[in-house]
Structure 1
Amino acid sequence: MKVLGISGTLVGSKTRILVEHILQQLQQQYPECKIELLDLKEYKLELCDGRPTDQYNEDTQKVILKIEEADAFLIGTTILHGSIPSALKNLFELVPVSAFTDKFTAFAANGGNPLHYLAIENYVKPIASYLKMLSLPEYVFALSSDFDGQNRLVKETKLKEVDQFVEHYASVLQQFYKIKVGS
């Protein structure tokens, strides 16, 4: 069982920090799970233009393969102006729908405006639905104020929320993939 955490932004560090924190918690809750982080900052993805996957550059092909090989996802994004970054949207366009189909997905986002959580419900989840992902109903949304000056997630209420989120996600993954493998 492999969970791929995706830090889906090219700006800032809070998204990656949030995704890493959740993945570390998930590894503690579900130690038999293989965890990997995919940070879009570390790859030079080409813009999707509809050509076959094998005609994109090596980085783009590597990222698509990582997604195809994953069993589940934790997708992290920053919310900018009420939407997701173009790098994440491009990723969704590059990867065949079949790579996401019937794979459990959880979301984590960060933003500066408390109302930016609405972008998960109104923008991210519809994309996930179109891509046929199985989405965890809850998600983590962190404000800038949940981090300290060194961008560490420190707000006690947010840390507890993450713990509960991870506990539920780990439970769902264990139940779903046990049933899926056993059927």
Structure 2
Amino acid sequence: MKIVGISGSNVGSKTRTAMNYTLSATRKKYPDAEITLLDLAEYNMVFSDGRNYSDYEGDTKFVTETIMSADAIIIGTPVFQASIPATLKNIFDLLPVNAFRDKVVSMLVTAGTAKHYLMVEQQLKPILAYMKAHIVQTFVFIEEKDFLRKEIVNDDVLFRIERLVEDTVMLVDAYVKIREAKDAEYDF
């Protein structure tokens, strides 16, 4: 199983910290999974100009092809101006409309306050649904107060991260079985 974690901003440290915890929990619980972190701060991405994702070069091609080859994607995003960052939106723009078909996508969000809790429901989930993702309905919302010195200090957040990882992998397994059952219906 290929799991790709996306740290969806090119600034700040909280989302990357949360993704590090998440992917560490994933590696511990599912050591056979192939896990990749795409921290968008580490890549030189070009803005989408409408080309097919495979026609881009360099970091843009690597990031988009890595996402397209994943079975599961865990998106980590901060909240900027009550919305997702432009770097993450650009990723969605670079990919085709059906990019997340047969992929499970889960989310964790870092924000300064609880005021931005509904951003996921009103903005991120509709984009993922439009792109045909199998969305893990629960997500992890992490506030400023849950961090101290670049560490997560709220045990409830750590528990929710572990649960998010389990839900993501269980949903991938469930959809694999569904596809296998559907494929078995055909004789060729």
TM-score, scaled to structure 2: 0.89
CA contact 2:104–2:168 (8 Å) conserved in 1: no
CA contact 2:102–2:175 (8 Å) conserved in 1: no
**SS, match of residue 28 in structure 1:** helix
**SS, match of residue 21 in structure 1:** helix
From the superposition, tell whether residues 53 and 105 of structure 1 become closer, same or farther in structure 2 (CA, over 3 Å): closer
How many angstroms apart in 1 are the aligned matches of 2:62 and 2:145?
35
Match runs of 1:13-162 below 5 Å:
13-148=13-148, 150-162=149-161
How many angstroms apart in 2 are the aligned matches of 1:177 and 1:2?
13
How many angstroms apart in 1 are the aligned matches of 2:32 and 2:179?
16
RMSD: 1.7
Residue identity matched to 1:140:
V
CA contact 1:26–1:170 (8 Å) conserved in 2: no
CA contact 1:46–1:57 (8 Å) conserved in 2: no
Q: Deviations over 1:38-93 (max 9, x none)?
A: 01111111111213445533111111111111111001100111100001001100
TM-score, scaled to structure 1: 0.91
Residue identity matched to 1:19:
M
CA contact 1:46–1:60 (8 Å) conserved in 2: yes
Structure 2: give runs of 5+ residues left out of the alignment: 184-188
From the superposition, tell whether residues 101 and 122 of structure 1 become closer, same or farther in structure 2 (CA, over 3 Å): same
Q: Percent identity?
A: 38
**SS, match of residue 98 in structure 1:** coil
Residue identity matched to 1:14:
K
1:171 lines up with 2:149 in the alignment: no
How many angstroms apart in 1 are the aligned matches of 2:163 and 2:52?
41
How many angstroms apart in 2 are the aligned matches of 1:17 and 1:85?
17
CA contact 2:54–2:65 (8 Å) conserved in 1: no
Shift of 1:2: 0.1
Bigger radius of gyration among the two:
2
Q: Deviations over 1:15-44 (max 9, x none)?
A: 111112111112222222111100111111
Structure 1: give runs of 5+ residues left out of the alignment: none
CA contact 2:100–2:133 (8 Å) conserved in 1: yes
CA contact 2:71–2:172 (8 Å) conserved in 1: no
How many angstroms apart in 1 are the aligned matches of 2:19 and 2:72?
14
- Equivalences, count: 182
Shift of 1:165: 2.4
